[in-house]
Structure 1
Amino acid sequence: MVDKFRVSLIVLLLACSVPAWGGEYLIESYYTQVFPPSHRALAEMNFDGPDVTLTLRPLNGYPRKSTTIKGDNSIPGEVSFFWPQISGESGVLVFKKTIEDRHVYWKNESTQMVIWRSLDDSLSDADRTLTYPNWCGTPYGRVSFAMIASSDLRSVNDFLLSRRYIDSALSKSDSHSFLLGQYVDPSEILAFDLEVEVGTEASVALALRAFPGVQWADLTWGGGCGGSEIGYMAISSTGFATANYIDAQAFATALMQRVESYLGRSGFSSEVSLLEVKRSILPPYAPVVKLEVAAPSIVSRKIGDTWDSFNLIFQSTQAIPGVPPDKIGVVVWVERLKTGTKKVRSGDPPPRSEYIDVELRPFDEALVAYVFAEAISSEADGWCDFFVQEHAETREDFLITDYYNDCSGK
């Protein structure tokens, strides 16, 4: 009797450990507009024996109706769909399942379309709103939109200025008109690139999509593949954030404590001071924390034995993919990075500012941001993501593309 109970319990535990692959996903392709005019759409996948259905819905703010596609799941690890003519593709498309970096992917090789979600089965509001152009470069602070040329441009311009989403009047760009080219005559399109405050990208995109005549609004497409001094991390929200509110002072305290903890473990002296805590004046009113840091370069950049000084800035943001409900997304960047020639000696405090007066490059600022995002996110049960293309002469193996991982150096 006991053996039968043990067998039944083992079978039950094994059954419970098998992931349920149905649920809410994202579907996207860099090359194909999966749900015109967007290269990304929401996807609900439901399994019923060998039968599977995929319901596509537009990203938040687009008015299009949903489309349901029927498919087959007779072969384990594969789903086959008879794809309708909604995205330039049609016929039977086979998607094969893989699990990588805490995510499940269903990939179709011929079209480069991917259906994916995190293993914890959660999508953030940013996931449901924004398209991340190409995982190359930094998708922050820039929103593009395209509208029919005959639409009321003045109303859009006045709205953006009145809400302080932009600082000056709109000026036309030709760089993104191709996004709608196969659906609308390019000569009838006006395209615009906006510089917006970090953290407001989703709010700006949603506001633009609500305007008549605006056909597409999203993060700027194809931000380039150069190195960037900005990256992002996700950290546990315990102690300073709820589902709808972030306590700015508690957020600052938590970040400062984690920066001090990392610096303290080095065994060298350092200095950290809180320069500023504020909230953005724009929705979603994200807190911004600015610290001033002086530390040995071997700690801040993993290079050398001189002193560095810099401003380390954190801003919570919606515009980060894959952030689960128990964490918040944080953009990290560095400004005013300088170094000096005075050597670091154990026990010595940082020298006065006049001895740290050599300005460094944005690439070096990227490295500092990477180091601190790695340290903070690993301590705060999180992850971070950076793309740094340029290589340092002495630490070539340290700079990596670390997608949805723990940012640990190779």
Structure 2
Amino acid sequence: MTIKRKGATSILFLQLLFILPAFGLLSLRDGKFDIMTLVAGGVLVFYNLFQYNMMKVSFKHIDRFVLLAAQFLWSLGLVVLYRLDPELALKQFVCLLIGTLAMIVMMVLIRRSRDFGRLNWVFMGLTLLLLASTLVLGRTTGGAKNWIDLGFISVQPSEFAKILFIVVSAYFLTTRDKLVSFIPYMFFTAVCVMLLVVEKDLGAALLISGTFLIMFYAATGRTWLTLLGVGILGGGAFASYKLFSHVRTRVEVWQDPWSVYQDGGYQIVQGLMALASGGLLGVGLGRGMPEVIPVRSSDYIFAVIGEEFGIIIGIFVIIFYLVFIVRGILIALDARSTYDALLVFGCTAMLSLQSFIIIGGVIKLIPLTGITMPFVSYGGSSILASMIQLGIIEGVAVKNGKADEAALEMMGGEMR
């Protein structure tokens, strides 16, 4: 326990050591000293310290490494957003504050609940309603019809639908044992994916499909059925390629973006050029040219990070996402119920898949899909959804800690 606390304190110290110099550099850009930039950095440092200590005291058994990994990621995101546009960073910080409240509420709910029982059928309907709502009310952004404009704010329903999908999946995979009993759940998953494909939200479709397969295999251990699911997913992807022109366009642009540089390939090429110019150590904060990269504050924020901070920081970003995988698996293994284990495993799988899908798209490893980097990219729906998933992971971690504590007290009583 002492080693864990010292390790967490060291990570917190290094995190703050990154934030203050970063905002210090930003305060001196354009040859002028901007005191408000330093104030913004100080506010972020205070917030991270306050949140960490408040969570540590209020929830004794939180997983500190998961929380600190998330803090590093959103701190890096806020630094880059402030460098791009201070107003974007302010909006993101407000969304982060709201997300913190949502995270705490989710932790309390998870800590006190066994599962959501019949509410899961309501969650299924709500998930489908959220995904279908953009077909009627949505507006097209970046080729995908996945945003709803409410006038004073824009909302991406799929960000919240994917959380409900995890909750529904955990329930069905826990309470069903015969294959035939999975039919409603399989149908539900297929409809979710098809709605997203029709809306051209290919990233979210891939995310839900991948999370489904991972959770199904983790819950059932049925290798052949999982491989069959992978085959169906591959067949569905091929069918989508043949049926939908926007899918073919994405693949063709991915194969050779330079041949269509002035059209669909411009974004990919600019992202690759930014990463190449950054090299190992980056060109320096504030010295890059992110303005030439489309959607630089959301989908392509990793290219901005790579250009100005270099491959080194890019690797650190991936390492912190790996922390979610390792700690999430450990929390799931320590869970006292299959339902809690699958909830954590589902959130871990979805956050990990989402991060690697978008990073893979930016570096041209896979065709580009329009999803955000969890905790890093600009977007109120994205940061709120990520914080809720963090709340689920931490809620189960707290529940595990209380169970371990009760078991130790019982053992101590028996020994006496």
* Band the TM-score falls in, shorter-chain normalisation: under 0.3
- When normalised by structure 2's length, the TM-score is 0.26
Please say which structure displays the higher CA radius of gyration. 1
- When normalised by structure 1's length, the TM-score is 0.26
Q: Which has the higher strand share?
A: 1
